[in-house]
Amino acid sequence: MNLANKITLVRIFLVPIMMFFLLVNFDYLPAIELEGFSITYNQIIAALIFIIAASTDGLDGYIARKRKMVTNLGKLLDPLADKLLVAAVLISLVEMQKCDAWIAVVIISREFAVTGLRQVALLEGTVVAASKWGKWKTATQITAIAAMLLNNFPFAFLHFRFDILATWVAALITVYSGIDYFVKNKNVLHLS
């Protein structure tokens, strides 16, 4: 197994560890409270794990392409790792009442739809390449999720709900990027 695939596997294995810190109640640890802002230590740990895992997303692909180590396993594992990470944290945030369920459903549904489109394209012998909107989607989702995980830090001190704004932007770009994929690849579905 090459280095790029090992990085992807680490990202997958970080998902349950992140969820453990996010969902297990550590009552014996006091929360950090400053001027109306509160966050628990386990939330900080979960947020750091999420940020580390999300930041390795581009790293594994870069290493695979640069060292000519692109494998079919990597092509399968990389998008799987991305979807597991985002879906797990969004579902957890819904349970914690930090994210509206409809936002999580929209984002996760788009991921399933585009994955399905890619599978159909592969069966036709075509590859659906990542688009700039797909990259924007990933960046806005990571930003929104990090803001929710960190209880809107540092914007909470400014009384600005950046987490809500970022979540709406992520949802809108997610929907737009999904539509963009289907419009640009409608020939794969024989819709033209």
- pLDDT tens by residue, 100-149: 999 999 999 999 999 888 888 878 777 777 789 988 999 999 999 999 99
**Cβ(18)–Cβ(46) below 8 Å:** yes
**Token pair for 130:** 């990542």
Q: How far apart are CA 78 and CA 61, in angstroms?
A: 8
Q: Is the pLDDT assigned to residue 44 strictly greater than 60?
A: yes
Q: How many residues does the chain have?
A: 192
3-state secondary structure of 89: helix
Residue 31 DSSP label: P
pLDDT of residue 191: 57
**Cβ(128)–Cβ(181) below 8 Å:** yes
What is the share, in percent, of the chain residues with pLDDT greater than 70? 99
Mean pLDDT over 39-50 rounds to 92
pLDDT of residue 108: 96
